Amino acid sequence: MISNPNIVNPLKPEDYSSEVFPTWCPGCGNFAIWAALKNALSELKLPPHRVALSFGIGCSGNFNNFVRANVFHSLHGRALPAAMGIKLGNHELTVIAMGGDGDGFAEGLGHTLETIRSNVNLTYIVHDNHMYSLTTGQTSPTTALGAKTKTAPLGAYEYPLNPLALALSAGGSFVARGFAGDIPHLQSLIAEGVSHRGFSFIDVMQPCPTFNPEMSYDWYRGRVYRLDEAGYVPDNRFRAWEVAQAPLDKKIAIGVLYKEDRSILEDNFPELSKTPLVKRDLNKLDIRPLFDNFK
| C-alpha pair distances (Å), 44 with each of 50, 152, 187, 190, 236 | 12, 43, 11, 10, 27
- Angstrom distance (rounded) from CA 142 to CA 132: 10
Q: Stretch 269-280: mean pLDDT, rounded?
A: 87
Question: How does residue 180 score in pLDDT terms, banded at 50, 70 and 90?
Answer: very high
pLDDT score recorded for residue 116? 98
pLDDT score recorded for residue 81? 97
pLDDT score recorded for residue 5? 47
Convert the pLDDT of each residue in 51-91 to its tens digit. 999 999 999 999 999 999 999 999 999 999 999 999 999 99
pLDDT score recorded for residue 291? 86
Question: How does residue 295 score in pLDDT terms, banded at 50, 70 and 90?
Answer: confident
- Angstrom distance (rounded) from CA 204 to CA 147: 20
For residues 270 and 7, the model is more confident at: 270
pLDDT score recorded for residue 2? 45
Q: What are the phi and psi torsion angles at 173 (to 5°)?
A: -90, -10
**Spans of all domains in the chain:** 18-294
pLDDT score recorded for residue 8? 56
Give this prediction's pTM. Answer: 0.93
Averaged confidence pLDDT in the chain: 94
Convert the pLDDT of each residue in 211-238 to its tens digit. 999 999 999 999 999 999 999 999 999 9
18-294 falls under which CATH superfamily? Answer: Thiamin diphosphate (ThDP)-binding fold, Pyr/PP domains (3.40.50.970)
Asked if residue 184 has pLDDT above 90, the reply is yes
